[in-house]
Structure 1
Amino acid sequence: MSTRSQLLKGILDGCVLAVIEKETVYGYELSKKLQWIGLADVSEGTIYPVLLRLQKNGWIYGEMRPSEEGPNRKYYTLTENGKKALCDIRREWSGISVAVNTLLREDENDECSTVDSGK
């Protein structure tokens, strides 16, 4: 598994909850929205297990609705527990991201620039 995939795996629940907070969505639509914001490696195959887990946790609610373009779709909405969980994730992410950015920030002595260019 790539470094990017491993990093994303840790925060994907929060990303999914944040999208659902903004609007009720179905699985395929959710994966497209995540891809559109720059998470291109989030496929439908990745999304559905996350949705099941979030539903089991009571953070989202799924409801079947008719679709104008084919079979019924399951639309997901954030629950009150989901809103609380998203607040917790945001708070934790804020603290973690500041610390990690401080540690990993590149400076003029960073070796990454020479490693990336093959020097």
Structure 2
Amino acid sequence: MANGTQILKGLLEGCILKIVKENETYGYEICERLVNYGFKDITEGSVYPILIRLEKKKLIYSIMKNSPFGPKRKYYYLTNEGAEEFQIFVVSWKVIKTNVDRVLGE
């Protein structure tokens, strides 16, 4: 496994649900937050397809709003289904993390 791209794809959905859960946000801001959390190689090109997928699954929804800095922005919000999916992600992540930590001896 040369890089963690495949692992990262699945984890980003849960991380994005958490960011959207905290308050309304737009795509570029989500990218910035992920970079600030340490995901240095994250680009808009990797985040926007995830946002589209989450919206198709009805885990988030969006509303176009005026921006104080230019054109309208698409703001994202968590649905009830998204909140449930986020809780499932948290439980799954804790189990996976615990098991990997055991394997690695940490």
Structure 1 and Structure 2 fold alike (TM over 0.5): yes
CA 1:52–1:2: 2 relative to 1, 3 Å: farther
Structure 2 unaligned regions, length at least 5: none
C-alpha distance in structure 1 between counterparts of 2:12 and 2:46, whole Å: 10
Q: Aligned residue for 1:110?
A: none
Bigger relative contact order, structure 1 or 2 (CA pairs below 8 A, ≥6 apart)? 2
C-alpha distance in structure 2 between counterparts of 1:78 and 1:105, whole Å: 37
Secondary structure of the 2:61 match is strand
Structure 1 unaligned regions, length at least 5: 107-119
The reply to whether residue 39 of structure 1 matches residue 39 of structure 2 is yes
C-alpha distance in structure 1 between counterparts of 2:49 and 2:36, whole Å: 20
C-alpha distance in structure 1 between counterparts of 2:81 and 2:6, whole Å: 26
**What does residue range 18-33 of structure 1 map to in structure 2 within 5 Å?**
18-33=18-33
Superposed CA deviations along residues 53-108 of structure 1, whole A, max 9, x for unmatched, are 000000001110000100000000000000000000111111111001110236xx
Secondary structure of the 1:74 match is strand
Superposed CA deviations along residues 30-62 of structure 1, whole A, max 9, x for unmatched, are 000000010111110001000000000000011
The reply to whether residue 90 of structure 1 matches residue 76 of structure 2 is no
Letter in 2 for 1:104: L
Alpha-carbon offset, residue 3 of structure 1: 1.8
Paired residue total:
106
Letter in 2 for 1:59: L
- Over aligned residues, Cα RMSD in angstroms? 1.3
C-alpha distance in structure 2 between counterparts of 1:78 and 1:41, whole Å: 25
Q: Aligned residue for 1:58?
A: 58
Q: Which runs of 4+ in 1 moved over 6 A?
A: none
Secondary structure of the 1:41 match is coil
Alpha-carbon offset, residue 4 of structure 1: 2.5
Identity of aligned residues (%): 40
C-alpha distance in structure 2 between counterparts of 1:69 and 1:40, whole Å: 25
